[in-house]
Amino acid sequence: MKFRDEYRDGAAARRLADAIAHTVTRPWTLMEVCGGQTHAIVRFGIDALLPPEITLVHGPGCPVCVTPEAYVDKAIEIADRAGVILCSFGDMLRVPGADGDLLAAKSRGADVRVVYSPLDAVAIARADPARQVVFFAVGFETTAPANAMAAVQARREGLTNFSMLVSHVLVPPAMRAVLEGPGNRVQGFLAAGHVCTIMGLAEYQPIAALYGVPIVATGFEPLDILEGVYLCIRQLEAGRAEVENQYSRAVTTAGNRAAQAVMAEVYRVIPRRWRGLGDIPDSGLGLSGAYADLDAERRFGAVVDGDDAAGECISGLVLRGERKPPECPAFGGRCTPERPLGVTMVSSEGACAAYYRYRGAA
Amino acid sequence: MCLAVPGRVLDLSGDEPLTRVGRVDFGGVVKEINLAFAPEADVGDYVLVHVGFAIAVIDEAEAARIFAHLDEIGELAEFAGPLGAEP
Amino acid sequence: MSDEGTVQLAHGGGGRAMARLIAEVIRPTFDDPELARGHDGALLGIEGPIAFTTDSYVIRPLIFPGGDIGSLAVNGTINDLAMCGARPLYMSVGLILEEGLPLSLLRRVLASMRDAAAACGVRLVTGDTKVVDRGKADGMFINTAGIGAVVAPAPIGPQAVRPDDAVLISGDIGRHGVAVMAARDDLGLEMAIESDCAPLCAPILGLIEAGIGVRCLRDLTRGGLASAVVEIAETAGVSIALEEAAVPIREDVASACELLGIDPLHVANEGRFVAFVAPEDAERAVELMRAHPVSAGAAVIGRVGDAPAGRVSCRGALGVARAIDMLSGEQLPRIC
């Protein structure tokens, strides 16, 4: 497939790895803030090609992983009601709430449906006007505009049986939270390419300047990630902390204006609680006043943030890049994808699940 | 996060910006994709698709840039030895 | 009995209606002297050791590109017998029909069972029919059991696998799972992929008759190549190293997997198998397999090692090996 296979070329990857090895003179720790990149790094073994000086840590880049337990509980509570169809992306179905997950709700009779696109949820509402259809809208900036279009479409069609349970999160505030953390060891970021496709690069300039960290907008294929690492290391070695764009085939400085316009109409920026990171100001999106009537929390009651059960799971430290999954004593033994202790082992994009799947239990 | 896959636009339908759609070919698999966020997308363009929406038209010139860059850093590493990749 | 009607609860009730369904629809389709005797079971004479297997089939949609639940059920059991190193001979058919199932659909499925069995010289000799309430059976479920005569000279199974054995696959992976996913209209995918559903007895018997040192055979079903190979590594107590570039996969299947965020190594197949053979026989085995249309895409994809036991790895595009595990839970399309 064009724009995929050529970015997985082994010889080119080794040349980039050589260039990185030639450039690096001392240890550096880089963080990617995107589960898709985490997945590619572990799946292709990109970290194994890097010189020992470079440590890649994996940030809070999985929107499913950071969705608070209280929202999962709310989704389950709504799904369990008679006359309701709850629509969700497949990723959310196995994410545990305080007591079970959406798959368990489905197995006891709740009508839970996996959708590929948010517009599929609107189509389900259109086809079944007698039932309330609730779309569980999660995701980062990449997914937010598509989910916003579901609201726009439902409004245009005058659907009264469609609403959204919104738990959207924003990446730059999470990067700040990681950098502010007392145990922070991140010295440079690979910014999530598709988030940048939507939002552009402007938000990253102040972070790079304030914290003195290079930030490189980076794609998802092996050559993209290696080039992102190369550009980041080159900046670090030269004492620079700038915003660079590795993923220029899909990212422009201004971002996607059409998507930003729909987001501005449908959402407003709100504080959000992140699983593992806690409360972060201005780090989430909720429905704007104009779309408040489509808010599932208005129809089915507000989500009340509680304390997420912590137990033995160290997913908070993993999401902040302070620990790698194999450094957890429960990893691969008491905690596996079949019997997960925490959400980073549940979602296929979670760092723990990626390590377990591609590196094995040991 | 945010799985997005490149595909080639086969045809377009709909005039309204928010409901304009195209059939997009992903290496032999064709799916109808919403083009609200890629108003400039034309037949033959490659778009990047996430949850049923095109989020960008892929810039083909920029896409080739990494390979030019590879040649460049390959030569630098060869001729200058360690640290030689610093421009 | 006309084609217009539908299956009624009475068709499973043990009375006249059931007798008519069997006499007018099922028996004439399968047309076997054992069935025609109308006895409680089949009386068969078989020489030597036998292989005996059973499997149940549930699938939505019942008809998919490249097959239907009937061909799936017959080929599935034929393949299980072949993997035991046996020549498939006889099969039973248990039908669980949902009230309201169109008789025309039932006839079609039965005809495709008959054709699939005939293609391998297998006889459908005994059966059972039940009808359940509407909404209880996704149209229909089928159970088949099969008996075959063992022809392999040495036991075939994970216990026979040795370090250095070659791992072969019979063709490209993932077609069945992707074709079935595409046939469910909720994903809105247009593609020209047909299921790989097919009987595998011909290439297997070919390997055995040619004297290839076949150690272990496994047909790939749900859970895909990954689950089959991991299961064998765990049971045999060996490690297995695969080469990703050697595993055949069609471009459109790979693209569909990419689009849905699923790993082709975990996608279902219904007409593919892996063969573990003695290293010196690997090349000849590939040639023998390629002579049969169902395994024309055969290839060597890896090698057995001695340790660590149960560990399966796969060397990818960048030359780095990753661990391969069985599928965890249900395969769900993902966004992230």
User: Do A90 and C335 count as a contact with CB atoms less than 8 A apart?
Assistant: yes
Measured N-to-C along each axis, helices A118-127 and A144-157 cross at an angle, to the nearest 10 degrees, of 20
Buried b (16+ CB within 10 A) or exposed e, A164-200: bbbbbbbbbbbbbbbbebeebebbbbbbbbbbbbbbb
B26 touches chain C (CB under 8 A): yes
Residue A329 lies in a domain: no
Identify the pLDDT of residue A347: 75
Residue A102 lies in a domain: yes
Query: Could you tell me the residue range of the domain that residue A294 belongs to?
Result: 64-170+257-300
C186 touches chain B (CB under 8 A): no
Identify the pLDDT of residue B80: 47
Buried b (16+ CB within 10 A) or exposed e, C228-264: bbbbbbeebebbbbbbbeebbbbebbbbbbbbbbbbb
| C80 and C136 part of one domain | yes
Residue C138 lies in a domain: yes
Angstrom distance (rounded) from CA C91 to CA B46: 51
User: Do C318 and A46 count as a contact with CB atoms less than 8 A apart?
Assistant: yes
| C250 and C306 part of one domain | yes
Distance in Å, alpha carbon of C322 to nearest chain A alpha carbon: 5
Number of domains in chain B: 1
- Select from A71, A87, A79, A218 the least CA-distant residue to A147: A87
**C282, two tokens:** 């690997």
Query: Could you tell me the residue range of the domain that residue C76 belongs to?
Result: 9-150
| C33 and C136 part of one domain | yes
Angstrom distance (rounded) from CA C206 to CA C199: 13
Residue A127 lies in a domain: yes
User: Do C335 and A139 count as a contact with CB atoms less than 8 A apart?
Assistant: yes
- Select from A202, A210, A175 the least CA-distant residue to A190: A175
Residue C292 lies in a domain: yes
Average pLDDT, chain C: 93
ipTM of the modeled complex: 0.92
Looking at residues C204-219, what average pLDDT do you find? 96
| C172 and C315 part of one domain | yes
Q: What CATH code is carried by the domain that includes residue C113?
A: 3.30.1330.10
**C134, two tokens:** 């509407």
Last residue of a domain, one of C150, C175, C198: C150
Is residue B6 a contact partner of residue B47, using CB atoms and an 8 Å limit? Answer: yes
Tens-place pLDDT, residues C26-43: 999 999 999 988 888 999
- CA distance to B4, C6, C99, C104, C111, per residue, from C2 (Å): 51, 9, 16, 8, 16
Is residue A58 a contact partner of residue A38, using CB atoms and an 8 Å limit? Answer: yes
Is residue A80 a contact partner of residue A110, using CB atoms and an 8 Å limit? Answer: yes
User: Do B1 and C190 count as a contact with CB atoms less than 8 A apart?
Assistant: no
Q: What CATH code is carried by the domain that includes residue C276?
A: 3.90.650.10
Query: Within 13 Å, how many C-alpha atoms sit on residue C221's CB side?
Result: 19
Identify the pLDDT of residue C1: 64
Q: Which helix (H) or strand (E) holds B68?
A: helix B60-80
Residue B87 lies in a domain: no
| C106 and C52 part of one domain | yes
| C16 and C122 part of one domain | yes
pLDDT tens track of chain A, all 362 residues?
Answer: 889 889 999 999 999 999 999 999 999 999 999 989 998 999 999 999 999 999 999 999 888 888 988 999 999 999 999 999 999 998 888 888 888 899 999 999 999 999 999 999 999 999 999 999 999 999 999 999 999 999 999 999 999 999 999 999 999 999 999 999 998 999 999 999 999 999 999 999 999 999 999 999 999 999 999 999 999 999 999 999 999 999 999 999 999 999 999 999 999 999 999 988 889 999 999 999 999 999 999 999 999 877 666 678 888 889 888 899 999 999 999 898 888 888 888 877 789 988 988 888 75
Number of domains in chain A: 1
**Which residue in the block uniquely carries the two structure tokens 């924003």?**
A170
* Cβ-based contacts under 8 A for chains A and C: 91
Is residue C255 a contact partner of residue C267, using CB atoms and an 8 Å limit? Answer: no
Partners of residue A64 in chain C, C-beta under 8 Å: 336
Residue B41 lies in a domain: yes
| C165 and C271 part of one domain | yes
Partners of residue B47 in chain C, C-beta under 8 Å: none
| C186 and C84 part of one domain | no
Provide the pLDDT confidence category of residue B87 given band limits of 50, 70 and 90: very low
In this predicted structure, which of A347-361, B20-34, C61-75, C195-209 has the lowest mean pLDDT?
Answer: A347-361
Residue A189 lies in a domain: no
Residue B86 lies in a domain: no
Partners of residue A225 in chain B, C-beta under 8 Å: none
Q: Which helix (H) or strand (E) holds C232?
A: helix C224-236
Distance in Å, alpha carbon of C325 to nearest chain A alpha carbon: 6
Residue A276 lies in a domain: yes
Q: Could you say which of B52, B66, B70 has the minimum Cβ distance to residue A119?
A: B52
Identify the pLDDT of residue B81: 45
Q: Which helix (H) or strand (E) holds A261?
A: helix A257-266
Residue C336 lies in a domain: no
| C318 and C205 part of one domain | yes
Residue A113 lies in a domain: yes
Q: Is the peptide bond before A337 cis (omega within 30 degrees of 0)?
A: no
Q: Which helix (H) or strand (E) holds C258?
A: helix C251-260
A349 touches chain C (CB under 8 A): yes
- Select from C314, C174, C303 the least CA-distant residue to C244: C314
Residue B74 lies in a domain: yes
Phi and psi at C275, nearest 5°, equal -125, 130
State the amino acid at position C20 in one-letter form: R
Angstrom distance (rounded) from CA C35 to CA C188: 43
Tens-place pLDDT, residues A121-163: 999 999 999 999 999 999 999 999 999 999 999 999 999 999 9
Distance in Å, alpha carbon of B72 to nearest chain A alpha carbon: 10
Is residue C146 a contact partner of residue C54, using CB atoms and an 8 Å limit? Answer: yes
Residue C90 lies in a domain: yes
| C302 and C166 part of one domain | yes
Buried b (16+ CB within 10 A) or exposed e, C189-221: bebebebbbbbbbbbbbbbbeeebbbbbbbbbb
- Residue A247, SS3 per DSSP: coil
CA closest to B5 among chain A residues: A4
Last residue of a domain, one of C150, C182, C211: C150
Is residue C284 a contact partner of residue C149, using CB atoms and an 8 Å limit? Answer: no
Q: Which helix (H) or strand (E) holds C302?
A: strand C299-305
Residue C247 lies in a domain: yes
- CA distance to A150, A163, A288, C54, per residue, from A292 (Å): 14, 9, 6, 56
**A354, two tokens:** 């990626």
Return the ∠ at Cα A246 (arms to A176 and A167), rounded to 5°: 40
Angstrom distance (rounded) from CA C250 to CA C172: 7
Query: Could you tell me the residue range of the domain that residue B72 belongs to?
Result: 5-80
Q: Which helix (H) or strand (E) holds B23?
A: strand B21-26
- Write out the residues of chain C at the interface with chain A, using a CB-CB cutoff of 8 A: 186-188, 251, 254-255, 258, 260-261, 308, 311, 316-323, 325, 328-330, 332-336
Residues shown for chain C: 336
| C215 and C317 part of one domain | yes
Q: 10 Å Cβ neighbour count for A358?
A: 22
Q: Could you say which of B51, B59, B70 has the minimum Cβ distance to residue A249?
A: B59
Number of domains in chain C: 2
Angstrom distance (rounded) from CA A361 to CA A250: 36
Examine the pLDDT at B83 and tell me if it is beyond 50.
no
Residues shown for chain B: 87
Tens-place pLDDT, residues C13-24: 888 998 999 999
Tens-place pLDDT, residues A32-85: 999 899 989 999 999 999 999 999 999 998 888 889 889 999 999 999 999 999
Angstrom distance (rounded) from CA A135 to CA A115: 9
Angstrom distance (rounded) from CA A286 to CA A267: 5
Last residue of a domain, one of C103, C131, C150: C150
**A259, two tokens:** 């998507």
| C306 and C237 part of one domain | yes
Task: Say if strands B53-57 and B46-50 run parallel, antiparallel, or are unpaired.
Answer: antiparallel
Average pLDDT, chain B: 85
Tens-place pLDDT, residues C230-281: 999 999 999 999 999 999 999 999 999 988 888 899 999 999 999 999 999 9
Identify the pLDDT of residue B84: 38
Tens-place pLDDT, residues C92-118: 999 999 999 999 999 999 999 999 999
Examine the pLDDT at C59 and tell me if it is beyond 90.
yes
Distance in Å, alpha carbon of B11 to nearest chain A alpha carbon: 18
Q: What CATH code is carried by the domain that includes residue A152?
A: 3.40.50.11740
